[in-house]
């Protein structure tokens, strides 16, 4: 397929790379930042532009990898696409934002945290949708060339999955942010915790999270929890989360719900 990429952020960069590696041709890269558009276009060996009015016709697929806010305002800046299929890459934005942008449109949502700094792209599950059965089939076939995990998900399903991804990925990462800060200030080598973190994630491939829960709150070890809370007196954000998580875990495993 001939593919035009609109956007120059992490999603645009990583998708551009995997799409090219899958044998597709990048027809054009367009972004608001001329320098970034040129850099990405050179990397993908395609023409680049910092002006959306210079969007060229003739591509089979137009991948719109921009912010949710930009998508909500898309009719104000995006010219109408006569041919091809326009898809956006957002998790919680309706497919309908593209209805006045193209005759054929849909969603190509990469269910992954993408970082252009990585030399190799991670495994990328892809959720797709389209405004017709034919469009869905074309997007699915296209996505299948660079991902082995392609699923259909409408707006409601995709939003729910995106929410789950935010909780599992973004919230966990923020816990790591606070933990790294704590370790740095307490002269603890954070790398000592990385094998534990890897084990925690890896075993979820074989067991349910409920089965694998461990720790003081799981045991209802109030003495240890009280000690930990005292140690965190100079770390109010982490202390607050420790208390909230501990209370929630204790309720989940030890409070019997009346029949």
User: For residue 256, what pLDDT is reported?
Assistant: 59
User: Domain 2-153 is in which class?
Assistant: alpha beta
pLDDT, tens only, 46-87 = 999 999 989 999 999 999 999 999 999 999 999 999 899 999
Cα–Cα distance for residue pair 16/166, rounded to 1 Å? 23
Longest distance between any two alpha carbons in the chain, whole Å = 68
Domain with CATH 3.40.50.720 in the chain: 2-153
- The answer to pTM > 0.85 is yes
146 vs 32, more confident: 146
Average pLDDT, the chain: 95
Domain with CATH 1.10.1040.20 in the chain: 159-254
pLDDT, tens only, 82-140 = 899 999 999 999 999 999 999 999 999 999 999 888 878 899 999 999 999 999 999 99
User: Domain 159-254 is in which class?
Assistant: mainly alpha
Residues whose CB is less than 8 angstroms from the CB of residue 237 and which lie 6 or more positions away in sequence, other chains included? 178
Instruction: For residue 207, count CB atoms less than 10 angstroms from its CB and return exposed for 0-12, middle for 13-18, buried for 19 or more.
Output: exposed
Cα–Cα distance for residue pair 256/259, rounded to 1 Å? 9
User: For residue 125, what pLDDT is reported?
Assistant: 98
138 in helix, strand or coil?
helix
Instruction: Check residue 258 and give left, alpha or beta (phi > 0: left; psi -120 to 50: alpha).
Output: beta
């Amino acid at each position: 397929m001939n593919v035009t990429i609109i956007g120059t952020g992490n999603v645009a960069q990583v998708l551009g790379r995997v799409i090219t590696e899958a044998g597709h041709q990048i027809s054009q890269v367009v972004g608001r930042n001329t320098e970034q558009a040129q850099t990405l276009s050179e990397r993908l060996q395609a023409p680049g532009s910092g002006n959306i009015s210079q969007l060229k016709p003739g591509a089979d697929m137009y991948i719109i990898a921009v912010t949710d806010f930009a998508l909500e305002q898309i009719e104000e800046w995006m010219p109408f696409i006569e041919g091809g299929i326009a898809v956006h890459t957002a998790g919680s934005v309706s497919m309908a934002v593209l209805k006045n942008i193209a005759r054929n449109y849909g969603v190509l949502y990469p269910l992954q945290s993408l970082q252009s700094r990585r030399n190799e792209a991670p495994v990328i599950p892809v959720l797709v949708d389209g405004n017709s059965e034919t469009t869905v089939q074309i997007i699915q076939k296209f996505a299948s060339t660079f991902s082995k995990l392609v699923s259909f998900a409408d707006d409601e399903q995709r939003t729910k999955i995106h929410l789950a991804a935010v909780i599992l990925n973004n919230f966990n990462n923020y816990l790591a942010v606070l933990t790294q800060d704590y370790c740095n200030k307490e002269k603890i080598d954070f790398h000592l915790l990385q094998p534990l973190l890897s084990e925690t994630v890896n075993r979820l491939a074989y067991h349910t999270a409920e089965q694998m829960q461990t720790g003081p709150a799981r045991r209802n070890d109030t003495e240890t929890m009280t000690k930990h809370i005292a140690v965190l007196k100079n770390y109010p954000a982490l202390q607050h989360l420790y208390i909230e998580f501990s209370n929630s875990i204790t309720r989940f495993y030890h409070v019997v719900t009346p029949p």
